[in-house]
Amino acid sequence: MGDIQIMAFRADEAAKNGYKRVMEYLVSRNLPSVEKKRSQNMLADIIDRYGPVVGSYPSWHPLISGDEDTRYRAMTPEPRCGYHGLDHTVYFLNGFISCPYGDGQKIMDSVEKRYYDPIATIKAERLDVQFYSSDATPIFVQCVWTEPMESNNMIPKSLAVPLMIEKELPAWRGASFAETWETMRSYILGTPYGNRSSLFVNQKTGQSLKKTYNTLIYTGMFGPIIV
């Protein structure tokens, strides 16, 4: 699924549009009515429990934080993040569904091999419904946080801010300049996003992320700020 970006960010509207688009993408119109209903219910339940459909993740999100490249960061699950065998993939706030042809064992194995993170556990399971194609095996990879989330499954400030700092600080050793908040917003907030919020974090948390990021770059640790 491509990035979702809108001019005026409205979380409810973005979530609704994402729900409709992914439902059409994953659930075939040609399914028998009973099976179609099962697939629709499964997808609705996943969205309810693991958050709305998103376009890409904050670079600090546990689902993709295995990427150690400080210059060209992954924004969606891919081999740099430790995942192999992904195909026909859609993303949610705290999980994603991938529908490769075959049994999906490469995804299952790659999730099993991911490093231990005390902040969140990454799990994978095969879903007993049809998504995308009758020849595909839907694999649901979920991020199970050890701390409670805020309303709408949003990530609290107490987790988002330190995770962002952990992600940004290592870049100072090789950096020659600093990027502004405007340039880095999509990497720090995920997409879709607004000025200080996204489907991952609310305005209060987003403001803290912005303030903390600006504090880091204004120390000069990354070099001069490029406008």
Looking at the DSSP assignment, which residues form a beta bridge with residue 143?
122
CB-based contact 110:84 (threshold 8 Å): yes
CB-based contact 200:61 (threshold 8 Å): yes
Average pLDDT, the chain: 91
The rounded distance, in Å, linking the Cα atoms of 141 and 218 is: 37
Looking at the DSSP assignment, which residues form a beta bridge with residue 198?
193
Average pLDDT of the segment spanning 160-186: 93
Q: How confident is the model over 191-201, as pLDDT tens digits?
A: 999 888 999 99
Average pLDDT of the segment spanning 128-155: 95
Q: Where are the domains of the chain?
A: 11-226
Average pLDDT of the segment spanning 100-113: 96
Q: How confident is the model over 123-134, as pLDDT tens digits?
A: 999 999 999 999
Q: Which of 25-29, 89-93, 173-177 has the lowest mean pLDDT?
A: 173-177
The rounded distance, in Å, linking the Cα atoms of 69 and 27 is: 35
**Residue type at 37?**
K
Number of H helices, E strands in the chain: 6, 7
Q: Which of 83, 87, 109 is closest to 97 using CA atoms?
A: 87
Does 192 sit behind a cis peptide bond, omega within 30 degrees of 0 on the bond before it? yes
pTM for the complete prediction? 0.91
The rounded distance, in Å, linking the Cα atoms of 192 and 18 is: 10
Q: How confident is the model over 53-95, as pLDDT tens digits?
A: 999 999 999 999 876 655 678 899 999 999 999 999 999 999 9
The first and second tokens of residue 185, run together, are: 């917003």
| Helix (H/G/I), strand (E/B), else coil: 47 | helix
Strands 225-226, 178-179: pairing is parallel
Question: What is the rounded (10 degree) CA torsion for 158, 173, 72, 95?
Answer: -20
Q: Which of 143, 221, 210 is closest to 177 using CA atoms?
A: 221
CB-based contact 201:73 (threshold 8 Å): no
pLDDT of residue 5: 43
